[in-house]
Amino acid sequence: MAIQFCESYVLESIQAIHDFSSDTIKIALYTGDASFDADTTAYTATNEVPTGNGYTAGGATLVLSATYPKIEANGAAVRFDTAEWTFSATKLIKWALIYNSSKSNKAILSLNFGSERSATGTFRVNFPLSAPPLIYHTAPIPA
């Protein structure tokens, strides 16, 4: 899996636009026809997994993991609980986009699962606590 931060998010974070403690952060799923990169600026419904059979347009709301956001290893860190859908019919998924629905659907980062996956039943996007935080920023401290 490849994670790509959106450059607009990096700028918006230093402008104090995003507040992970109070904003609604969502994750939307996309087919292999979608494509995201550092230039992605906002959620789009284009090539999103079709609504129905366990999926709703716009995706799922992410739940901030307990004790986050916080300072971790000299940087700001954010983690989310596992996002989960139960599909009653097959869905084809290659991408996910995490975005801030409280702030004009501004994009935060994309996840590329590598190849289009066929999913029926429970589909999860895990944010493991043993790995580095999903969203992590450090800033140099002036001397």
- Asked if the model's pLDDT at residue 118 lies above 60, the reply is yes
What's the average model confidence in pLDDT over 62-89?
88
Q: Which residues of 27-52 are buried (b: 16+ CB within 10 A; e: fewer)?
A: bbbbeeebebeeebeebbeeebbeee
What's the average model confidence in pLDDT over 111-117?
93
Residue spans of the domains in the chain: they are 2-129
- Asked if the model's pLDDT at residue 140 lies above 60, the reply is no
The three-class DSSP label of residue 65 is coil
